[in-house]
């Protein structure tokens, strides 16, 4: 870290584009123009944790999903799972659990498709240095029409799954405390089955694209914004990847287990959050390792690394290929997130296939009730990573405490690490070059950060980059 | 002496029994007059003014104004619609109505009227009042944020349930429905099965624990605008 900040040059990239929400990057340089400090700022604040206080517990799954329009289902389900605990239900009916899983897989499918096809593919199809006028989703639509259509259709399919399980494509009401409010009719099932084979084919195509790109550029990507780190996710009791339910597992950069099969309510004994004055995002860390070394990555890369196996054949085959690249050790390459994300996309399609052929989805037993409890914690693996929801509810049924640790928050320190690494590699003197901007954005984008989730912000601004000397004079300014 | 009188709504000749209100006579003839504070089976209140019509040239509340022979009523008129929309918009800005997460969404008469009138956003500034929530009762709650002071719960509780559990307190902007007890609903005899619970047109007086149990697509106003049932009956009977 920089010792004497006032003597350093400062570069700001604001906002970072093609991520969900917006943030900015500042780089502090020393006299020899080496990056001494890199910060990925999240500058907005929404404060859902505060304003759901006083609301009744059954409202929470519907309110908190308004954090985001990209993966609201993750918040909807994490809150609903926590509220299962509040109403004393530990095991849902098969219909309720499977309907929620179907909703979740539809959600991850649409979110991963959006990210890969719309946000990431311009970088890997056109190269990081390509003209920003072309290196965007419109450019993809012009030059690779089939791929653009597949992206739109895969996303649409995921949204259709959500609509049939939650009632609406965005901000539905399906999951309620103790269960679900609808089953899947035969008509709805058949509508979804109709396009499934096509989705699988396109999903496998995207997986191949992500894999081939990573393997072809492996030597270069291995160093691009990459660093050893811990990885965290939930896994099933048998160690399988499970995106909806499981117990916590954390591994280090070599694959050694830091903890395993930790029951979700005990998360607070293992994870703490550090507050830093320059960002509204907190910095979570593994308590036993301390704030300095305990930060960890979450999301597709972490999940593929932590899982012992995936319980669907095509995704498992892909996972084995993925792990073979690093000889079975955890993959710490930032850009490998894209490959891991597409493994999960295929896994979701396989899971949807499995569920649509399960008669339990047409069951009538939807909601259970138990004995009210004052506190509950729930975790789901959201598209961007592990999502914690923790609530306390008083005897009048009103929420008195809420703590949400969202995926992008967990990836906060990793994104800062990636920015510092890339900036150091690509900063050329004290000029702001397109190349520098592009490479930093590509590294951040690999994490698919959702800034509206992390601090709960919305909006869009033109890109502004400013370079200051150590006395605060503006040396260079660039807008996009 | 004939017990039937003749009058007109929007130029249409209508016959009804003497003593009928404009709203009831219209409804019997398949004409929907929007309303919020009016509820079948309890005494009319005439407070919300959403049912305002022009009767013999004057704006009148259709739910409390009896029909007179030869009366000329304008219901589907630009001037009337403008007044109704203004009232509905004022109700929205006066309270804290967050349809996007309200458990009454899809079953809410205020929301349904806004949809029927094509109100996308109110023209008036939101007042964002600070309102209390009474969550003390184990099965029932009042969220004053959503209350529109229609008194349907008060009248239904008294006249149908035979209970003295609710009433208005305060005046002007501080006016609110209150429990007839020192410490709120929990000290009253209100019960989740009371007819008063079904009387609330918005999400103010609600049963606890059951929010969102009706899926989207099966809620009261998911498919057809409010009032369609009245208009449909008329179409069916003329076939």
Q: Cβ–Cβ of B211/A367 closer than 8 Å?
A: no
pLDDT interval class at B203 (50, 70, 90): very high
What average pLDDT does range A5-32 have in this prediction? 65
Q: Indicate which CATH number applies to the domain containing B97.
A: 3.30.70.20
Q: What is the pLDDT of residues A386-423, one digit of tens each?
A: 999 999 999 999 999 998 888 888 888 888 888 888 88
The answer to whether residues B69 and B167 belong to one domain is no
- Other CB atoms closer than 10 Å to residue A460's CB: what's the count? 8
What average pLDDT does range A19-29 have in this prediction? 67
Q: What is the pLDDT of residue B124?
A: 97
Q: What is the pLDDT of residue A97?
A: 98
- Rounded to 10°, the helix A94-113/A72-86 angle is 160
The answer to whether residues B12 and B46 belong to one domain is yes
- Phi, psi (degrees; rounded to nearest 5) at B4: -110, 140
The residue of chain B with its CA nearest to that of A173 is: B212
Domain limits at B61?
Answer: 4-76
Residue A29, pLDDT > 60, answer yes
pLDDT interval class at A468 (50, 70, 90): low
**Interface probe with A: pick from B209, B218, B222, most Cβ of A within 10 Å:** B209
The answer to whether residues B15 and B109 belong to one domain is no
Pick from A168, A173, A396: CB nearest B136: A396
For residue B176, the cross-strand partners are B169
- Phi, psi (degrees; rounded to nearest 5) at A157: -60, -45
Cβ-Cβ contacts under 8 Å, A86 against chain B = none
**Does B199 or A21 have the greater pLDDT score?**
B199
DSSP code per residue over B75-95: -S-HHHHHHHHHHHHHHHHHT
In a domain, B232, yes or no: no
What average pLDDT does range A137-163 have in this prediction? 92
Cβ-Cβ contacts under 8 Å, A367 against chain B = 213
In a domain, B8, yes or no: yes
* Tally of residues, chain A: 480
Q: Does A176 touch chain B (CB under 8 A)?
A: yes
Rounded to whole angstroms, the Cα distance separating A133 from A154 reads 25
Q: Cβ–Cβ of B216/A168 closer than 8 Å?
A: yes
The answer to whether residues B17 and B104 belong to one domain is no
In a domain, B220, yes or no: no
Contact, B227 vs B34, CB < 8 A?
A: yes
What average pLDDT does range B196-210 have in this prediction? 97
Contact, A455 vs A42, CB < 8 A?
A: yes
Rounded to whole angstroms, the Cα distance separating A239 from A305 reads 11
Give the whole-number percent of chain A exceeding pLDDT 70.
Answer: 86
Q: What is the pLDDT of residue A454?
A: 47
Q: What is the pLDDT of residue A2?
A: 39
Rounded to whole angstroms, the Cα distance separating B170 from B90 reads 20
pLDDT interval class at A17 (50, 70, 90): low
In a domain, B44, yes or no: yes
DSSP code per residue over A300-364: HHHHHHH-SB-SSHHHHHHHHHHHHTTTTSPP--TTHHHHHHHHHHHHHHHHHHHHHT-GGGG-S
Q: Does A367 touch chain B (CB under 8 A)?
A: yes
In a domain, B221, yes or no: no
Rounded to whole angstroms, the Cα distance separating A9 from A474 reads 10
Integer angstrom CA distances of residue A187 from A99, A154, A193, B91: 15, 20, 10, 41
Residue A46, pLDDT > 90, answer no
Residue A437, pLDDT > 80, answer no
Question: Which residues of A190-281 form beta strands (DSSP E)?
Answer: 230-235, 247-251, 257-262, 271-274
What token pair was written down for B166?
């609710």
What is the dihedral angle through the alpha carbons of A117, A122, A123, A127, rounded to the nearest 10 degrees? Answer: 140
Pick from A54, A59, A171: CB nearest B103: A59
The answer to whether residues B133 and B181 belong to one domain is yes
Lowest mean pLDDT among A22-26, A385-389, B15-19: A22-26
Q: Cβ–Cβ of A167/B216 closer than 8 Å?
A: yes
Residues 61-80 of A with CB under 8 A from B: 61-63, 66
Residue A469, pLDDT > 60, answer no
**Does B130 or A464 have the greater pLDDT score?**
B130
Q: What is the pLDDT of residues B49-69, one digit of tens each?
A: 999 999 999 999 999 999 999
In a domain, B138, yes or no: yes
pLDDT interval class at A478 (50, 70, 90): low
Using alpha carbons only, give the angle A213, A215, A216 rounded to the nearest 5 degrees. Answer: 65
What average pLDDT does range A10-19 have in this prediction? 62
Q: What is the pLDDT of residues A261-291, one digit of tens each?
A: 999 999 999 999 887 776 667 789 999 999 9
Q: Cβ–Cβ of A54/B133 closer than 8 Å?
A: yes
For residue B142, with 0-12 CB atoms within 10 Å meaning exposed, 13-18 middle and 19 or more buried, which class applies? buried
Closest chain B C-alpha to A190 CA, distance in angstroms: 19
- Phi, psi (degrees; rounded to nearest 5) at A474: -80, 115
Residue A459, pLDDT > 50, answer no
DSSP code per residue over B189-201: ---TTSHHHHH-S
The answer to whether residues B159 and B63 belong to one domain is no
ipTM of the complex, rounded to two decimals: 0.92
The H-or-E segment that residue A475 falls in is strand A474-479
Q: What is the pLDDT of residues A87-117, one digit of tens each?
A: 999 999 999 999 999 999 999 999 999 999 9
Q: What is the pLDDT of residue A472?
A: 55
Q: Cβ–Cβ of B141/A62 closer than 8 Å?
A: no
Closest chain B C-alpha to A176 CA, distance in angstroms: 7
pLDDT interval class at A121 (50, 70, 90): confident
- Residue B230 three-state SS: helix
Sequence ranges of the domains in chain A: 5-46+428-479, 48-409
Residue B83, pLDDT > 70, answer yes
- Residue A146 three-state SS: helix
What average pLDDT does range A429-433 have in this prediction? 70
Q: Cβ–Cβ of B100/A54 closer than 8 Å?
A: no
Q: Cβ–Cβ of B208/A397 closer than 8 Å?
A: yes
The answer to whether residues B48 and B117 belong to one domain is no
- Residues of B in CB contact (< 8 Å) with A are 100-101, 103, 133, 135-136, 141, 208-218
Q: What is the 8-class DSSP label of residue A155?
A: H
Pick from A58, A87, A172: CB nearest B211: A58
In a domain, B144, yes or no: yes
Residue A4, pLDDT > 70, answer no
Q: Cβ–Cβ of A59/B211 closer than 8 Å?
A: yes
Residue A356, pLDDT > 70, answer yes
Q: Cβ–Cβ of B209/A173 closer than 8 Å?
A: no
Rounded to whole angstroms, the Cα distance separating A90 from A368 reads 10
Q: Does A4 touch chain B (CB under 8 A)?
A: no
CATH 1.10.645.10, domain A48-409, yes or no: yes
Q: Cβ–Cβ of B215/A181 closer than 8 Å?
A: yes
Q: Indicate which CATH number applies to the domain containing B22.
A: 3.10.20.740
Sorted by sequence, the CB contacts under 8 Å of residue B214 that are 6+ apart come out as A181, B106, B107
Give the whole-number percent of chain B exceeding pLDDT 90.
Answer: 94
Q: Cβ–Cβ of B210/A168 closer than 8 Å?
A: no
State whether the Cα torsion B38-B39-B45-B47 is positive or negative: negative
Give the whole-number percent of chain A exceeding pLDDT 90.
Answer: 61
What average pLDDT does range A337-348 have in this prediction? 97
What average pLDDT does range A210-217 have in this prediction? 95
Pick from B52, B76, B100: which residue ends a domain?
B76
Residue A479, pLDDT > 80, answer no
- Residue B13 three-state SS: strand
Q: Cβ–Cβ of A398/B217 closer than 8 Å?
A: no
Pick from A54, A62, A398: CB nearest B212: A62
The answer to whether residues B144 and B51 belong to one domain is no
**Does A478 or A392 have the greater pLDDT score?**
A392
What average pLDDT does range B94-105 have in this prediction? 96
Pick from A63, A177, A396: CB nearest B101: A63
The answer to whether residues B63 and B156 belong to one domain is no
Q: Cβ–Cβ of B212/A181 closer than 8 Å?
A: yes
What average pLDDT does range A15-28 have in this prediction? 64
What average pLDDT does range A53-61 have in this prediction? 96
Q: What is the pLDDT of residue A209?
A: 94
Provide the number of structural domains found in chain B: 2
The answer to whether residues B105 and B161 belong to one domain is yes
Closest CA to A286 of A301, A302, A272, A266: A272
The answer to whether residues B67 and B106 belong to one domain is no
What token pair was written down for A286?
């593994």
Q: What is the pLDDT of residue A11?
A: 67
In a domain, B114, yes or no: yes
Q: What is the pLDDT of residue A475?
A: 59
Closest chain B C-alpha to A456 CA, distance in angstroms: 17
Q: What is the pLDDT of residue A465?
A: 47
pLDDT interval class at B23 (50, 70, 90): very high
Q: Cβ–Cβ of B133/A181 closer than 8 Å?
A: no
Closest chain A C-alpha to B133 CA, distance in angstroms: 9
Q: What is the pLDDT of residue A138?
A: 83
């Amino acid at each position: 870290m920089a010792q004497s900040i006032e003597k350093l040059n400062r570069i700001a990239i604001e906002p970072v584009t093609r991520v969900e929400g917006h943030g900015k990057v500042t780089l502090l340089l020393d006299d020899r123009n080496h990056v001494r400090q890199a910060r990925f700022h999240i500058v907005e604040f929404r404060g859902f944790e505060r304003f759901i206080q006083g609301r009744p517990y059954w409202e929470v799954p519907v309110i908190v999903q308004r954090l985001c329009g990209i993966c609201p289902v993750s918040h909807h389900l994490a809150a609903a799972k926590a509220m299962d605990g509040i109403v004393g239900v530990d095991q849902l009916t098969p219909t309720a659990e499977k309907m929620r899983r179907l909703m979740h897989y539809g959600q991850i499918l649409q979110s991963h498709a959006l990210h890969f096809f719309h946000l990431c593919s311009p970088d890997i199809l056109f190269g990081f240095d390509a003209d920003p006028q072309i290196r965007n989703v419109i450019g993809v639509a012009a030059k690779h029409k089939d791929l653009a259509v597949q992206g739109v259709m895969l996303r649409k399919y995921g949204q259709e799954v959500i609509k049939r399980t939650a009632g609406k494509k965005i901000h539905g009401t399906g999951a309620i405390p103790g269960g679900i409010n609808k089953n899947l009719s035969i008509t709805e099932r058949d509508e979804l089955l109709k396009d499934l084979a096509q989705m699988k084919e396109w999903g496998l195509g995207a997986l191949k694209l992500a894999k081939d790109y990573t393997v072809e550029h492996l030597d270069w990507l291995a160093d691009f914004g990459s660093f050893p780190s811990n990885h965290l996710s939930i896994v099933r009791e048998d160690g399988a990847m499970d995106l909806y339910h499981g117990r916590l597992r954390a591994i280090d950069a070599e694959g050694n287990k830091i903890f395993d099969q930790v029951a979700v309510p005990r998360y607070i004994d293992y994870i703490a959050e550090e507050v830093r004055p320059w960002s509204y995002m907190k910095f979570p860390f593994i308590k036993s390792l301390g704030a300095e070394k305990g930060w960890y990555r979450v999301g597709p890369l972490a999940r593929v690394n932590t899982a012992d196996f995936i319980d669907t054949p095509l995704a498992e085959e892909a996972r084995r290929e993925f792990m073979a690249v690093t000889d079975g050790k955890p993959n710490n390459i930032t850009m490998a997130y894209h490959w891991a994300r597409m493994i999960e996309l295929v896994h979701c399609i396989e899971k949807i296939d499995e569920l649509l052929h399960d008669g339990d989805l047409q069951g009538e037993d939807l909601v259970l009730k138990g004995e009210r409890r004052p506190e509950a914690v729930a975790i789901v693996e959201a598209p961007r990573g592990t999502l914690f929801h923790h609530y306390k509810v008083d005897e009048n049924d009103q929420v008195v405490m809420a703590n949400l640790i969202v995926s992008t928050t967990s990836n906060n320190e990793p994104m800062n690490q990636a920015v510092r690494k890339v900036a150091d590699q690509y900063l050329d003197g004290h000029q702001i070059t397109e190349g520098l901007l592009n490479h930093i954005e590509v590294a951040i984008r690999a994490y698919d950060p959702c800034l509206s989730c992390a601090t709960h912000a919305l909006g869009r601004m033109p890109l502004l980059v400013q370079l200051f000397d150590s006395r605060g004079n503006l040396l260079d300014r660039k807008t996009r | 002496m004939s017990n039937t009188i003749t009058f007109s709504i929007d130029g249409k000749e209508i016959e009804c029994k003497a003593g009928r209100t404009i709203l009831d006579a219209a409804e019997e003839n398949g004409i929907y007059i929007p309303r919020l504070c009016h509820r079948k089976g309890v005494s009319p209140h005439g407070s919300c003014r959403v049912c305002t019509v022009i009767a013999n040239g004057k704006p009148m509340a259709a739910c409390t104004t009896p029909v007179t022979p030869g009366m000329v009523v304008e219901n589907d008129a630009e001037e009337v619609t403008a007044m109704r929309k203004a009232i509905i918009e004022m109700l929205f800005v006066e309270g804290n109505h967050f349809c996007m997460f309200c458990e009454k969404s899809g079953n809410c008469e205020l929301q349904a009227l806004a949809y029927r009138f094509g109100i996308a956003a109110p023209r008036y500034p939101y007042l964002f009042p600070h309102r209390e929530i009474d969550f003390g009762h184990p099965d029932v709650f009042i969220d004053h944020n959503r209350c529109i002071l229609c008194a349907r719960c008060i009248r239904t509780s008294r006249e149908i349930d035979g209970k003295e559990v609710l009433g208005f307190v305060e005046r002007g902007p501080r006016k609110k429905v209150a429990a007839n007890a020192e410490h709120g609903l929990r000290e009253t005899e209100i019960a989740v099965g009371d007819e008063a619970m079904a009387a609330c047109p918005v999400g103010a007086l609600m049963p606890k624990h059951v929010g969102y149990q009706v899926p989207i697509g099966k809620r009261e106003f998911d498919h057809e605008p409010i009032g369609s049932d009245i208009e449909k009956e008329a179409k069916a009977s003329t076939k």
